[in-house]
Amino acid sequence: MNLFIRPDGSVQCLYDEKIDLARVGTVDIRRASHVEPAPLDAGMWIADLAPVGGPFLGPFPTRSEALHAESSWLDAQMTLGPVTVLSQVLE
């Protein structure tokens, strides 16, 4: 789990239950994407990052591959701009 700390003190991360984020401060959880079966490719999966203005990724042969692509893309986007990154917190 990566925590991205902005100059204003706000923190962004991909939600994970490893840390009780409510103990750190006010939590605002928003959907960033959807991982779903690909509509035209039976048995394939896509990551739809439209909720954050991102692309469709895939199709992927497994859901876990789509989830990995989704989290990699989101992490890369969160590193844009001035941030301090705390990587692999509690892993």
How much is the pLDDT for 54?
93
Mean pLDDT lowest among 27-31, 50-54, 62-66, 87-91: 87-91
pTM metric for this prediction:
0.79
Domain containing 9: what range? 3-85
User: Which residue has better confidence, 7 or 37?
Assistant: 37
**What's phi and psi for 21, nearest 5 deg?**
-60, -25
Find the DSSP H helices in 1-91. 63-78
Q: Which of 57-61, 69-73, 80-84 has the lowest mean pLDDT?
A: 80-84
Average model confidence (pLDDT) for the chain? 88
49 or 19, which is more confident?
Answer: 49
Domain count, the chain: 1
Look at residue 91 and tell me if it is in a domain.
Answer: no
Residue 56 lies in a domain: yes
